[in-house]
C-alpha cells in the first residue's frame, strides 16, 4: 500500500498539528488545545484520518476532532460551515475503508454516514466535544454529515 501523504491545501495550524502528531507517534497531538473565535479555550480529542483519494487513488491524512462511541469514533464533515462537503468526506463516500490513528492506536475502520435518530444523537454528542459545530450549521444550507468510523479486523 502506498505511503500516506498529508492532505494538500490544509491551513498552517492543521499542518503543525499533523506534524506534531506524526513525529511523536501519537503521544503529542491527540488532545488539542485551541481557542475558537467566540469561545473559551478548550481541549478537544483529535484523530488522524487516512482516506483514499477518489480521483487520485493516493492516500491522504487529515486531522479531525472526534467523539468515542463504543469501539468506534464519530467525526463531522463540517468544513467550518462551507457550502460544500470537505474533500476527505467525498473520499470516504467513494471508498469507506479508512485508517484511523487515535493517540498511539492505529486501526482500520469502515466509514458510514449516519441519519435519522442516530444522526440526531451523535450530532448532540459532537456539539459536546466541539460546540462551534452549531455555528457552522447556521452558516450553511447543507446538512452537515455525521460519520461513524467502525473498526474492522
In the predicted structure, residue 62 carries a pLDDT above the cut 80: yes
Beta bridge partners of 94: none
- Strands 97-102 and 72-76, by their bridges, are unpaired
Instruction: Give me the percent of the chain exceeding a pLDDT of 90.
Output: 92
> Dihedral sign, CA of 83, 94, 11, 45?
positive
Express each pLDDT in 95-152 by its tens digit: 999 999 999 999 999 999 999 999 999 999 999 999 999 999 999 999 999 999 999 9
Distances (CA, A) of 14 to 33, 131, 152: 12, 19, 27
Cβ(148)–Cβ(109) under 8 Å?
no
In the predicted structure, residue 14 carries a pLDDT above the cut 80: yes
Express each pLDDT in 15-54 by its tens digit: 999 999 999 999 999 999 999 989 999 999 999 999 999 9
* CA 118/CA 25 separation, integer angstroms: 33
Cβ(146)–Cβ(129) under 8 Å?
no
> What band does 3 get if pLDDT is binned at 50, 70 and 90?
confident
Average pLDDT for residues 69-82, to the nearest whole number? 96
The set of residues, in sequence order, having a beta carbon less than 8 Å from that of 126 and lying 6+ positions away, is 67, 74, 76, 133, 146
Q: Domains in the chain, please, with CATH?
A: 5-152 (2.30.110.10)
pTM over 0.85: yes
Amino acid at each position: 500500500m502506498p505511503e500516506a501523504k498529508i492532505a494538500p491545501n490544509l491551513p498552517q495550524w492543521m499542518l503543525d498539528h499533523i506534524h506534531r502528531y506524526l513525529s511523536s507517534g501519537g503521544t503529542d497531538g491527540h488532545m488539542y488545545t485551541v481557542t475558537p473565535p467566540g469561545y473559551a479555550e478548550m481541549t478537544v480529542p483529535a484523530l488522524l484520518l487516512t482516506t483514499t483519494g477518489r480521483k487520485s487513488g493516493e492516500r491522504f491524512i487529515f486531522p479531525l476532532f472526534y467523539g468515542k462511541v463504543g469501539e468506534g469514533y464519530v467525526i463531522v464533515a463540517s468544513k467550518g460551515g462551507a457550502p460544500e462537503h470537505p474533500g476527505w468526506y467525498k473520499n470516504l463516500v467513494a471508498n469507506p475503508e479508512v485508517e484511523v490513528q487515535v493517540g498511539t492506536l492505529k486501526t482500520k475502520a469502515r466509514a458510514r454516514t449516519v441519519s435519522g435518530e442516530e444522526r440526531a444523537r451523535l450530532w448532540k454528542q459532537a456539539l459536546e466535544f466541539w460546540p462551534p459545530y452549531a455555528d457552522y450549521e447556521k452558516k450553511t444550507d447543507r446538512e452537515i454529515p455525521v460519520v461513524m468510523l467502525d473498526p474492522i479486523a
